[in-house]
A and B are shown apart, each in its own frame.
Chain A
Amino acid sequence: MAQDNAGGGAEGKAKEEKKKTKAEIKKEEEMSPEDIELRDRLALLAERVKDVDAAVAKASLDAMKEEIRAATSSMTSVPKPLKFLRPHYQGLKDFFSSMMDSENKTLLADVLSVLGMTMAGSGTRESLKYKLSGAKGGLDVWGFEYVKNLAGEIGLEWTHRKTTDQSTDDLKELVEEIVPFNIKHGSEPEACDLLMEVDLLPRVLEHVAENNYSRIALYLTSCASYVPEPEDSMIYNVVFQIYKKVNRFPEALRIAIRLNDAQLAEEVLSSCEDEDIKKQLAFMVARHGALNLTSEDEALTEILGNTHLSGHFLSLARDLDVFEAKTPEEIYKSHLTETRTSMENLQSARANLASSFVNAFVNAGFGNDKLLTGDSKALSTWIYKCGSQDSAHGKMSAAASLGMILMWDVDSGLNQVVRLTEINEDYIQAGASLASGIVSANVRSECDPVHALLSDKVEDKKLSTIQRVGAVLGLGLAYAGTQKEDILDLLTPIIADPEIDIDLFSMASLALGFVFVGSKKADIAENIIQGLLDRYSDDQKVVKDAASRFACLGLGLIFLGQQEAADVTMEALKAVPGQIGQYCSLTVETCAYAGSGNVMKVQKMLGICAEHLEENNSHQAVAAIGIALVAMGEEMGAEMTSRSFEHMLQYGEVNLRRVVPLAVGFLHMSNPKPTVIDMLSKLSHDGDSEVAQGAIISLGFVGSGTNNSRIALLLRQLSTYYGKDSNTLFVVRIAQGLLHMGKGLMTISPQYSDRLLTSPTALAGILAVMHSCMDFKNVILGKYHYMLYMISIAMQPRMLVTVDEQLKPLPVSVRVGQAVDVVGQAGKPKSITGFATHTTPVLLAYEQRAELATDQYLPLTSVLEGFVILKENPDWKADAEKSSPSKKAEAMEIHDDHLKKMALKMANVRPDQRMYGK
């Protein structure tokens, strides 16, 4: 917002009056002779303006103008000429109104407009009034403060005229003058503000040029979070046009993705002619996961299918020296905890299953581990160690864990997974199907092998439910976000058949939700609702089947982020009775407004949470998660939401308290903020076991893929604390696995690209896990633990890989540091702080940003994340690099600082803890 200067004027006036109350003479005495002279001269001029002789009047006006101009250099205090003209302001105004139209009148109008800036009361908009009757142009004559003031008044006047339905043409003209002035003088934010104020934002495009586009676009992008629907998409559209105008295709694509507009994205891709930039665009599309762009070009297709992911991830691992496989024991570090159980000789299927998950998460994507990928005997022996008589379903997750270890490597990974089908047992077959989905998560192969492998199983009605469930979910993971019609054809019969088991129906709905995430497909929605009606219309039973929640989620995912588009479905859902209906409609509603920051929805959800329900309250959990879901994606909103969760912890019923840690974890995926860790750590010892379990797994989510040592310590302590409680211990183990996901090279945060974009598939995966965690007892700790693998579509390496035009790795030095908000700041502020210099490939934590430390190359995209293609800088000279020792010194210093902090932290450890450490 441009600053309203009326306040300054009023202040000046008050000062003046105060002085007047004192003796005039005294004031005169204080004034220097020069001031007295100036005052008298101005008084004379003010009189002469009223002279009948036009020439005299003009001369005096010019003189007056000159005086004011010469003094408007600074606005820290009211300039003297303005001060001295104050007594004459009213007189001049009166004279002005009595004047006939003439050249002098316009001149006087200009002068009055300037005077009005400080003298008119706030809200009178006199400055603007006189400006409108004054001469056109000539803004720069009066300086920046004046323009700023004028812009503020235009805004006020605009709303006034809009409400009273008056013409705004003259204002528009003025705006046209002010905007170029602002942009020319480096205050693009003011220009944008003014244009937004008068609903003329698209006009900014006329003024965009190579030197100012980034500031304008950056400012507008950050504004968009704070304006209501649908204005935000209008702003993004303008930003998109800006980038397109200056041919910044990658940036334009970012905005297109933000708009969730596949057509715009397509347009960017097709209008870009530079092959290298096209590749960069393809990398971005691939990262997003839910844009289905295709290309004729083979190289581009490969990038779009994310086939490079595995190779580059492995080279990152080699570079960071973490290629060696890790065992679950290395994660548990039970030699550091005090407890030693005496039951080491006995196998616990539960504990082994937990180890399977840990092993899968830790070695995810590395293609090797120490439990499964060894010889074939070890593989089957281990799988059979994970399912006892009563919990044979453990074998399914154990088998599926192989898929996560081989993730992203479709070619050789699938071949290993297919081996599992050689054991003819339902759960292992189901696990194998799920594994083939996990292997292909976020990677598309041109040959479509997963579809070919799993389609028979989906269609084969003779197969057991669990086998078909595995196949269905495998398809869901492999084709998440692709919107492939084949999959729809394959799964629709399952959903439409009322005889199908609720488990299979629900998982098929969820799989469709994954594949058609955010597609608004009404026919799928209808089918799912019909399926729910078939199963629940006859009685009022609460959500007893743990699986039915996934059907609701599948329905919600179809409308993920689509806002009003879900209204029809919401209406239709009113037909579904009882708890399931409430659960479902809230799921759909919160999904539809995911990331919108819509205050009305947040308030509605808060209202639902505020009810104290003894029973039939499962929908409140959805509402609580929904608050986080709606608020995510915008830092300030997320912060506020966290605070309202504190209230829920204090005043909410126990069912709500159980969701709060999950919701907090959801807001901070892979973002281990100390305050969040503190809160969750406190809750992890809660008397209610499900609150504690939620807090523990959320510790895992918050730290996932970060190896955060503080969380690691907390979880180790929790594993001792809950050593006797096999259920909670299982959850602790899972959290430990999540924390060390991909040995610390991964993130599950759905937000990426400087936290501007949200990957819908990643969000879908996380939501599936969240909904599973709402009912620990029946889902995670029951027979649906395999739902934890749904997180595989949210898993991404948190790396920055720089490649050359041939996509070969190109190590360059980059500075990595905490991101700084530089929106609207003057000059060229540093965008990162506390940085250290590394050589790519390099890891980026949440809220970290990278910038090239060398001028030798130019990145093709401004946001350095994931894959970035570098180009040689044509202007670079070899010796230029050496002349920057000062920069290096600076980096060293900060690095030193970091070390100091670490040392300080070490010193703060209490002596007794150190002894435990031994």
Chain B
Amino acid sequence: MATVDVKVKWGKEKFDVQIMLDEPAEVFKAQLFALTGVPPDRQKITAGTKKINDDTDLKSLNLKDKQMLMLFGTADEILQAPTEKPIFVEDLAPSDMAGLMAAGVPFGLENLGNTCYMNSCLQVVNNVNELVESLSNSPAESTQHSDPYNGLVVASKNLFKRMQSATEPIAPGNLLMQLRLNFPQFDERGEGGMHMQQDAEECLSQLLQVYTQKIKTAEGKSFIEDLFGVELDVEVKCAEGDEPAVTEKEKQLKISCHIQGPTPQPDGSSKGGTDFVTQSISLGLESSLEKNSPSLGRTALYKKTSKISRVCLSLPKYLLLHFVRFQWRQDTGKKAKILRAVKFPFLLDMRDFCTDEYKSRIDKWRNKEREANDERQAALRRRTETGTAKDESESKEGAKGEEKKEETMEVEGQEEIEETEDLWSTYELTGVITHKGRTADGGHYVAWIKKDSGKWFLFDDAKVSEIEADEVKKLYGGGDWHMAYMCLYKRVRRPLDVTKYE
């Protein structure tokens, strides 16, 4: 019987095999099976450029002595297609995709050349749902050319509409054009014809100003003043003479937070500076001015104290805080930036800034709520601990609480105060416009916004990314990182005193 000795290479291993040329190839495969454990039907054998199949005549291969053959195949389990088919984004219908997109990261606005100030403002405005809604209901049409502000309102309306169903970053070109048309200061160009960086606060103020005029409530009142307006009782008192104080009313769309004091020392002492936003607000509400005193007959120093009054508008639904970070400096002739850190809380209680009368109303409601809360807890505890007589929270109650304890909890109708939204003096942080850089004419603005989903997003022009809420705490200022320039707070129902700084 004709035989030939060959070498068979299988992976890194080599075997010496004697092939019987007269036998069918299956015999050879069986030989290899014995050596390697690779089942014959999974063996692939190559001899030179030929493949040995079951029907190959081994003689036709002209195998030489010591020729190297290669065997491919494994004894491992057979490779199979997975039974579970994965679901692919690509296979989903566009409508499914839109739903998925909505849950994801929203889209940003493109920078059209130093327009980050405007983009940040627009993102903040876009987060005020009531405003966006009223804009979309606004009857303003692009055909009304006579009214200069009309174009701006139409542009805003269209833009916010597009932002709701965006699938890619949007270029707010039309709005920018209208803004510059109405407020030529934003059309200012620097060297080389590039548009210059502008103050975001100014931009937002102007926008709100326009909306104030153009959007009216059903009763014909300004919608914006309803949303943002803070009504102040302003008491002007002469600090030097003994003059009766004059009380006036003032309306503001934002609250200015003044920053003062030296940079905090490393040991934490700040020597009277504004470390917390509440201090800043107080500072902004109290100012001194010089005016002619009728009693003294000369210019005298007057102290101006403002308190938020409950009359008319009371606390608004949204609170816009403006950190007065840019200051004109006489000595350098430039707008300088105050870098001092001012902490602001996620939840801000505005009770302390209200007029006394307003305060007491708020307190009454709060006490009521607190009791209701305590009672709920007590009831809960009773149920779990089978009625413990001692109630710690009760002992903590103030005098007012004692008084009301006599009344039964069930009779809520008898409460002297009825809950209205304006009693909610607690505000939750929902948006921050930050500025990075040392000068007012430069640097970069971005918006940090808490969406309704409760997630925080960073809107850096067209770039939008989800961030942890803790990132917002880094925006207090004091360094070269982004620092808060404007904060938007939204009123929430929190009956308890919650202003906390972290």
**A376/B89 in contact, CB under 8 A:** no
B79: A residues at CB distance < 8 A:
376, 379-380, 419-420, 422-423
Cβ proximity bits B94-129 to A, threshold 8 Å, 1 near / 0 not: 000000100111010000000000000000000000
Interface centre among B47, B90, B91 (most CB of A within 10 A): B90
Q: Is the beta-carbon distance between A376 and B77 smaller than 8 angstroms?
A: yes
A341 x B105 contact (CB < 8 A): yes
CB neighbours (8 Å) of A415 from chain B are: 10-11, 72-74
Task: Provide the bound-state CA to CA distance between A720 and B467, in Å.
Answer: 14
Say yes or no: A377 contacts B10, CB within 8 Å. no
The residue on A at minimum CB distance from B455 is: A342
B68 contact set on A, CB distance < 8 A: 446-447
Interface residues on B, range: 35 or more
- Which of B44, B48, B79, B168 has the most A CB atoms < 10 Å from its CB? B79
Map CB proximity to A onto B65-84 as digits: 1 under 8 Å, 0 otherwise.
Answer: 00011101110111111100
Checking A342, A343, A411, A453 against B46 with a beta-carbon cut-off of 8 angstroms, the contacting residue is A453
Tell me, in angstroms, the Cα distance from A629 to B137 when the chains sit together.
62
B139 to chain A, nearest CB (A): 35
A425 within 8 A of B: yes
Give the nearest-CB partner of B10 in chain A: A415
If A390-B90, A448-B46, A453-B72 touch, does A346 touch B100 (CB 8 Å cutoff)?
A: yes
Residue of A nearest to B168 (CB): A724
Known A349-B88, A724-B168; contact A422-B78, beta-carbon cutoff 8 A: yes
Asked whether, in the complex, the Cβ of B91 is within 8 Å of the Cβ of A390, the reply is yes
| Docked complex: A725-764 residues within 8 A CB-CB of B | none
B89, A447: Cβ atoms closer than 8 Å:
no
In this assembly, does A835 line the interface, its C-beta being within 8 Å of a C-beta of chain B? no
Docked CA distance A452–B49 (Å): 4
**Residues of chain B within 8 A of A412, CB atoms compared:** 11-12
B88 touching A348 by the CB < 8 A rule?
yes
- Give every chain B residue within 8 A of A724 (Cβ-Cβ): 107, 168
Report whether over half of chain A's contact residues are helix, strand or loop; otherwise say mixed: helix
| Interface of chain A residues 563 through 579 with chain B (CB within 8 A) | none
Give the shortest distance, in Å, between A333 (CB) and chain B (any CB).
15
Contacting residue for B51 out of A341, A416, A453, A723, CB 8 A: A453
Residues B481 and A411 in contact, CB atoms below 8 Å apart = no
Checking B9, B72, B105 against A418 with a beta-carbon cut-off of 8 angstroms, the contacting residue is B72
Q: Measured between alpha carbons, how far is A911 from B42 in the docked complex, in Å? A: 61
Q: Is the CB of B105 within 8 A of A339?
A: yes
* B87 contacts chain A at the CB level, 8 A cutoff: yes
- Nearest residue (CB) in B for A724 is B168
In the complex, what's the smallest C-beta–C-beta distance from B86 to chain A, in angstroms? 5
Identity of the chain B residue whose Cβ is nearest the Cβ of A486 in the assembled complex? B49
A453 to B480, CA, bound (A): 64
Check: B436 CB closer than 8 A to any chain A CB: yes
Tell yes or no: B235 within 8 A of A by CB. Answer: no
Would you call B189 an interface residue if the criterion is a C-beta within 8 Å of the partner chain's C-beta atoms?
Answer: no
Among B49, B82, B466, the most chain A Cβ lie within 10 Å of the Cβ of B49
Chain B proximity of A882: nearest CB distance (Å): 43
A380 CA to B80 CA, complexed, in Å: 7
Q: Once the chains are docked, how many angstroms separate the CA of A340 from the CA of B466? A: 6
Is residue A274 within 8 Å, beta carbon to beta carbon, of the partner chain? no
Q: Using an 8 Å CB-CB cutoff, how does the interface string of A367-396 with B read, 1 for contact, 0 for none?
A: 000000000110111001100111100000
Question: Which residue of B10, B46, B50, B481 is within 8 Å of A911 (Cβ)?
Answer: B481
Q: A384 to B9: give the CA distance in the assembly, Å.
A: 31
Give the A-B contact count at a CB cut-off of 8 A: 131
A61 to B481, CA, bound (A): 88
The reply to whether the CB of B458 lies closer than 8 angstroms to some CB of chain A is yes
Q: How far is the CB of B497 from chain A (nearest CB, A)?
A: 34
Of B72, B77, B105, which contacts A449 at CB under 8 A? B72
| Inter-chain contact B105/A453, CB cutoff 8 Å | no
- Are A453 and B44 touching (Cβ within 8 A)? yes
Within 8 A of B (CB), among A839-891: none
Q: Does B85 contact A (CB under 8 A)?
A: yes
Within residues 530 to 548 of chain A, which ones have a CB less than 8 A from any CB in chain B? none
Q: How far, in whole Å, are A348 and B97 apart by their CA atoms in the complex? A: 12
- Assess the B51–A422 pair: CB atoms within 8 A: no
Task: Among B10, B104, B481, point to the contact of A341 (Cβ < 8 A).
Answer: B104
B48 touches A912 (CB 8 A): no
Q: What is the CA–CA distance of A373 and B78 in the complex, to the nearest angstrom?
A: 15
Contacting residue for B12 out of A338, A411, A453, CB 8 A: A411
B70 x A447 contact (CB < 8 A)? yes
Q: Please give, as numbers and ranges, the residues of chain B lying within 8 Å of A912 by CB-CB distance.
A: 436, 480-481
Tell me, in angstroms, the Cα distance from A905 to B104 when the chains sit together.
37
Contact B9 A411 (CB under 8 A): yes
Chain B residues whose C-beta falls within 8 Å of the C-beta of A341 in the assembled complex: 104-105
Task: Kindly state the separation between the CA atoms of A241 and B152 in the bound complex, as whole angstroms.
Answer: 82
B305 an interface residue at 8 Å Cβ cutoff? no
> Chain A 391-416 against B: per-residue CB contact (8 Å), 1 yes, 0 no?
10000000000000000000110111
Mask for B132-156, Cβ within 8 A of A = 1, else 0?
Answer: 0000000000000000000000000
A347→B10 contact, CB < 8 A: no
**What are 17 residue pairs bridging A and B, where the CB atoms are less than 8 Å apart in the complex?**
A339-B466, A342-B104, A342-B466, A346-B100, A347-B88, A385-B86, A411-B9, A412-B12, A414-B72, A418-B44, A422-B78, A422-B79, A447-B70, A448-B46, A449-B70, A452-B50, A912-B436
Given contacts A376-B77, A391-B90, 14 further A-B contacts (CB under 8 A): A342-B100, A342-B104, A346-B89, A349-B88, A349-B89, A350-B89, A380-B81, A380-B82, A415-B73, A415-B74, A423-B80, A449-B70, A912-B480, A915-B481
A-B residue pairs, 6 tightest by C-beta = A452-B46, A388-B88, A338-B465, A418-B72, A342-B104, A412-B11
B residues apposed to A, CB below 8 Å: 9-12, 42, 44, 46-51, 68-70, 72-74, 76-82, 85-91, 100, 103-105, 107, 168, 436, 458, 463, 465-467, 479-481
